[in-house]
Amino acid sequence: MASEIYAVGGSAADRASIQAALAAQPEISVQLFESSTAFLAQAATLAAGIAVLNVGGDTTATLTALRSAAHLSPLVIVPSGNITAALQAMKQGAVDFVEKPFTATHLADVVATILAWADDGDATTRAEAAETAMSRLSEREKIVLKGLLEDKPAKAITTALQISPRTLEIYRATILSSLGVISLADALRIAFPGKLFA
C-alpha cells in the first residue's frame, strides 16, 4: 500500500533532507510544502498520510488545524534535546516526534512505525503497553518524570519533593531503567500515551 508523506515548513534544506531520507523507502511518496499555510489550504483534499512538521512559529496553529483532519498524522521535527517542544507538540496532537539532526534510518523507522499503527489500528495496543510501563513507576517517580519532561529546573523538583540533587539523579536513572529507555525523549514516547499528562 502506498503511503503519503507531507514535508511541511522549515527551510528548503530541511524539506529536502526529509525527502532524501524517505526516497529509498518502497511505496512512499513525499510531497513538499513550503509553509503550513500552503499545506493547510490543501489538507482536506490530500490522501491519508503523515504530515512531517518542522517546529517553528506556526506549529501550534498547524497542529490545531490538523485536529479536524483525522486522515493526517502529525510527526513533528524538534531541535535535539528540546523535550519541552516535543511535549507541547504531543499535547497538541502530534503522534510522535523526531529530534533534529536525524539520520535517514531513524526518520524512516519512525515513519514506518506510525504507518504500522495506522494499518493495524495499533493505537490501542500502544496505549496499553505505555500504561503497563507507567504502572511500574511509583507515584513519586511519576512526579519526578513529569517534572523532568516539563523541563522544570532540578532545583524546583528537589525543593518540591524535599530531596537532594543526587537523589533526583538516582530517581532519573531508576525511571529510565524501569521504562526500558535511555533518554527522556524515549521516556516521553511512553509517558504521553501512558497518560502521565492526562
Q: What pLDDT score does 67 carry?
A: 76
Q: Are 148 and 157 in contact (CB under 8 A)?
A: yes
Q: What is the CATH number of the domain that holds 130?
A: 1.10.10.10
171 shares its domain with 76: no
**Secondary structure string (H, E, C) spanning 88-129:** HHHHCCCCEEEEECCCHHHHHHHHHHHHHHHHHCCHHHHHHH
116 shares its domain with 131: no
Alpha-carbon span 165 to 126, nearest angstrom: 33
Q: What pLDDT score does 119 carry?
A: 62
Q: How many residues does this entry show for the chain?
A: 198
Boundary of a domain, candidates 72, 88, 121 = 121
Boundary of a domain, candidates 100, 121, 142 = 121
84 shares its domain with 132: no
88 shares its domain with 155: no
How high is the mean pLDDT of the chain?
Answer: 88
Q: What is the CATH number of the domain that holds 61?
A: 3.40.50.2300
Residue 60 reports pLDDT greater than 90: no
- Residue 108: how many other CB atoms lie within 10 Å: 17
Q: What pLDDT score does 83 carry?
A: 87
Alpha-carbon span 156 to 140, nearest angstrom: 15
Residue 1 reports pLDDT greater than 50: no
Segments forming the whole domain that contains residue 161: 126-191
Predicted confidence (pLDDT) per residue in 32-54, tens digit: 999 888 998 999 899 989 999 98
Predicted confidence (pLDDT) per residue in 120-165, tens digit: 555 667 778 889 999 999 999 999 999 999 999 999 999 999 999 9
More confident residue, 26 or 95: 95
Q: What pLDDT score does 58 carry?
A: 67
Boundary of a domain, candidates 121, 140, 171 = 121
196 part of a folded domain? no
178 part of a folded domain? yes
198 part of a folded domain? no
Residue 74 reports pLDDT greater than 60: yes
110 shares its domain with 183: no
Report how many domains make up the chain: 2
